[in-house]
Amino acid sequence: MSDEVSAPSQPRWLSAEEQQAWRAWLYSTLLLQDRLDRELTRATGISHAYYEILVQLSETPGRALRMSDLADRCLSSRSRLSHAVSRLEERGWVRRQVCEDDGRGQLAVLTDEGFTALEQAAPVHVESVRTHLFDQLSPEQVRALQDIGQTLQAHLSPPR
Amino acid sequence: MSDEVSAPSQPRWLSAEEQQAWRAWLYSTLLLQDRLDRELTRATGISHAYYEILVQLSETPGRALRMSDLADRCLSSRSRLSHAVSRLEERGWVRRQVCEDDGRGQLAVLTDEGFTALEQAAPVHVESVRTHLFDQLSPEQVRALQDIGQTLQAHLSPPR
């Protein structure tokens, strides 16, 4: 990719203000991810990463996606996703089937049991997100959060 | 903790705007963490989590911390930190020693080789942070990022 960095001859060190913003972003995101993951796991037995897999499948027509597309949407490596789908298969929430379009590749399909599990986990998850994110922020901060997130996402998203 | 969530009887679902802000935050942070981690690992062989351990030790008087304090500062579980410190010991970058204060507990100590490794990795890391975060944001967005980060950190940080 053209915007990959390489070791610079003259490092562009961060200013004190940038350093503060960077540490605040880093720690707040790690703390928030950790809190959401723990609360979801404790209440439902589903980690946040697994929850995202169920969400992505549930929002697709037929509740099915190619494994490679599912990995892209979950920002996961193929091997990590394959491992996660195996765990979800053991619970009966996802099943794999051969892709009918071309006979090659695999689909991950959300089962009815998986959809029910997602429906039961969703109220817990949204309460966590509201308590630890939206309840803490002013309307201006929410708008800024969306603006910053979309700016960074546009820069970092792989081309489809 | 008093602010732990429980399964609500009436879920406070997100509005369309909140849903957009939430997805933008979630994906942008996952993409940014992944990019920073890959660039640092490719250039230096150190993951971002390991880099953070070296940073925390380097900023402490004597370049040493109790394992429990180091885990807190790195927002890591004790078991995950212990595993990471073992890997860093194999490289000769960190060593463990018995805590002299009380003869119980262990200190993790940054070695001179570990400090040199950190010095060599820092220019690569700061270039990644600048390229993928600060170069993308306006001064107003940087201020908002710091403000939001500090707000969330204050809410989520465990009491010391």
CATH number at residue B56: 1.10.10.10
Give the β-pairing of A64-66 and A94-98. Answer: unpaired
Question: From the candidates B4, B5, B77, which should be mutated to test the interface with A, based on the most A CB atoms within 10 A?
Answer: B5
Q: Is position A150 within any domain?
A: no
pLDDT of residue B2: 45
Is the CB of B13 inside 8 Å of chain A's CB atoms? yes
Q: Which domain holds residue B80?
A: 50-124
Q: Is position B21 within any domain?
A: no
pLDDT for residue A3 is more than 80: no
- Cα gap A84→A106, rounded to integer Å: 15
pLDDT of residue B105: 84
Question: What interface predicted TM-score (ipTM) does this complex get?
Answer: 0.87
Structure tokens at A2: 């053209």
Residue environment code for A18-43, b if the CB has 16+ CB neighbours within 10 A, otherwise e: beebbebbbbbbbbbbebbbebbeeb
pLDDT for residue B145 is more than 70: yes
| Partner residue facing B134 (CB), from A18, A32, A123 | A18
Q: Is position B65 within any domain?
A: yes
pLDDT of residue A122: 95
- C-alpha B149 chain-centroid distance: 14
Q: Is position B105 within any domain?
A: yes
Band the pLDDT of B4: cuts 50, 70, 90: low
Q: What is the mean pLDDT of chain B?
A: 91
Q: Is position A117 within any domain?
A: yes
Q: pLDDT for B12-27, tens place per residue? A: 999 999 999 999 999 9
Is the CB of B38 inside 8 Å of chain A's CB atoms? no
pLDDT of residue B5: 63
Q: Is position A42 within any domain?
A: no
Q: pLDDT for A53-94, tens place per residue? A: 999 999 999 999 999 999 999 988 899 999 999 999 999 999
pLDDT of residue A63: 97
Q: Is position A43 within any domain?
A: no
pLDDT of residue A99: 84
pLDDT of residue B75: 87
Q: In chain A, positions 64-123, which contact chain B (CB-CB < 8 Å)?
A: 75, 122-123
**Chain B contact set for A23 (CB, 8 A):** 149
pLDDT of residue B19: 93
- Could you give the number of structural domains in chain A? 1
Q: pLDDT for A113-133, tens place per residue? A: 999 999 999 999 999 999 999
Cβ A152–B20 below 8 Å, yes or no?
Answer: no
The percent of residues in chain A predicted with pLDDT above 90, rounded, is: 81
Q: Is position B152 within any domain?
A: no
| Long-range Cβ contact pairs of B51-57 (< 8 A, separation 24 or more) | B51/B118, B51/B121, B51/B125, B53/B81, B53/B84, B53/B85, B53/B88, B53/B94, B53/B108, B54/B88, B54/B93, B54/B94, B54/B110, B54/B114, B54/B115, B54/B117, B54/B118, B54/B121, B55/B118, B57/B94, B57/B108, B57/B109, B57/B110, B57/B114
Q: Measure in Å the smallest separation between the Cα of B109 and chain A Cα atoms.
A: 23
